[in-house]
Amino acid sequence: MQRILGFLGFIVVHCPMCLGAEPACGQWRVLAPMPSLRQELSTASLNGKVFAIAGFDANGMSTDTVEVYDPETDAWTSAAPLPIATNHNVAAVAGGKLYAFGGTSNRTFVYDPEQNAWTDVAPSLFMHGNTAAVGVINDRIYVAGGSGGIGNEFEVYDPSTDTWSALAPMGVSRNHTGGGVIDGKFYVVGGRPGSDAASALEVYDPETGAWRTLAPMPTGRSGIGVGVVNGKLYVFGGEDPRLFSDVEVYDPATDTWLQLPPMPTPRHGMSATVIGNVIYLPGGGVRQGFGATNINEAYVADCSATP
């Protein structure tokens, strides 16, 4: 399988609001900072807004903080805290509802924006600590990896029945990983421990119930942010054995990777959230280990570039 790498110079647009302007593809934007400094947090998009959930604070303590970014106003507000303080947690939106889970507990919560309240639903079968990979297909939430077991555990949550079901495990055990969905298939990339996990890319097909190994990520790393735009998988930052600013994008049509402009601020322990063709990356660690920040940057995905 051929891997193709290229490099493009990058532009950072210091344009916090840019209201009424059409975002330029392939550019970075510096946005209003998150009110709190956090890393190892989760993010997800609900009703056009980015929810930043829990994680470590600047002192390395777990938090229950939930803050909400509105791209239309470039402003943050607070939401009801998560019922528990946690870190390395994950989140997803399915059926128009926001779910938070993983991290230091197997409890699963759903958020009601009208009541501004979190409620317990069925707990996951596995812990999925230290950041699992998450994807949503047909309003079902797929969760792979994380610590708390062997590390290749894979399960799916069906909100319509409030049940979790175990699925075929991944080929590579890993945590500090990330995932995304393209054309009804779930892709999992990067992670730790070891070099195999750091570069591994696998895809799960719900139609066959099987995993398949794909072209490895050129720059192996963990603690990454992962987002999908226009049928391509974008991987941001990470750490181990160093702090990374690398951005690479995978095209499943050709099973190839392309190097893109680096992040303005190298970070790990963050979560990527996509709204339209913009990938939002608030928070994260600016040093290996602890180094929480409130930086809020977004990448406007290159609409035309292909490997």
Q: What is the pLDDT of residues 166-221, one digit of tens each?
A: 999 999 999 999 999 999 999 999 999 999 999 999 999 999 999 999 999 999 99
Give, rounded to a whole angstrom, the gap between the first and last alpha carbons of the chain. 13
- Of 79, 108, 13, 92, which is closest to residue 46 (Cα–Cα)? 92
Domain count, the chain: 1
| CB neighbourhood size of 22 (10 A) | 7
Cα-based torsion angle of the residue sequence 143, 206, 47, 126 in order, rounded to the nearest 10 degrees: -20
CATH number at residue 139: 2.120.10.80
Q: Is residue 48 part of a domain?
A: yes
Helix ranges (DSSP H) in 138-288: 194-199
Q: Is residue 6 part of a domain?
A: no
Q: Looking at the predicted structure, is the pLDDT value of residue 26 above 80?
A: yes
Global pTM reads 0.92
- For residue 306, tell me if it sits in a domain: no
Rounded distance between C-alpha atoms, residue 171 and residue 301, angstroms: 30
The answer to the question of residue 175 being in a domain is yes
Residue 83 belongs to domain spanning: 12-300
